[in-house]
Amino acid sequence: MIKYKLVCKNCDNFFDSWFASSKEYEKLKKLKHINCNNCNSLKVEKTLMTPSVLNSKKEKSVIYKNEKYAKIKNTIKEYQKFIKKNFEYVGEDFAYEARSIHYNNNKEKLKGIYGNATAEEVKELKEEGIDTEVIPWVNQNDN
């Protein structure tokens, strides 16, 4: 016995049907003995994947996504290392400090700064012509 997932081209109904073999399916199809269990249309076709194949594909794609996420996370961590080494952390004062550097031409601060800012603050800074970049951030202890 073989189970096929069938689709009706007329009403987009998906349904499962059992056949003795793939040959039997072809035979019944030719004889127009396979019709939609919803609208009785004969425009019924076998979907490319049987349910079991569909499941394994699903699992694979989840693993793939996780791997991808781990890679991105590592990239972000590399950024973080670089930023922590080369930039000064100003925390919640980011918008204030960024303005102070921009408007006072604060040469004492040779290092760049990084910190927290709201989306609104970033938007305002950009409008004032202050160069800011938003990067994703992950917690170091979050694995």
Q: Cα Rg for the chain, rounded, in angstroms?
A: 30
Q: Any contact of residue 41 with Zn ion (CB under 5 A)?
A: yes
Could you give the C-alpha distances from 121 to 44, 94, 96, 99, in angstroms and in order?
57, 9, 10, 11
Binding residue (CB under 5 A) for Zn ion from 22, 38, 55, 61: 38
Binding residue (CB under 5 A) for Zn ion from 39, 53, 54, 70: 39
Output 35 or 80, the one with its CB closest to Zn ion. Answer: 35
Q: State the minimum distance, in angstroms, from the CB of residue 28 to Zn ion.
A: 16
| Burial grade of 60 (CB within 10 A; 0-12, 13-18, 19 or more) | exposed
Q: Any contact of residue 35 with Zn ion (CB under 5 A)?
A: no
Cα–chain center distance at 136: 15
Q: Any contact of residue 7 with Zn ion (CB under 5 A)?
A: no
Output 37 or 118, the one with its CB closest to Zn ion. Answer: 37
Task: Centre a 10 Å sphere on the Cβ of residue 18 and count the other Cβ atoms it contains.
Answer: 10
Output 40 or 74, the one with its CB closest to Zn ion. Answer: 40
Binding interface with Zn ion (CB under 5 A): 8, 10-11, 13, 36, 38-39, 41
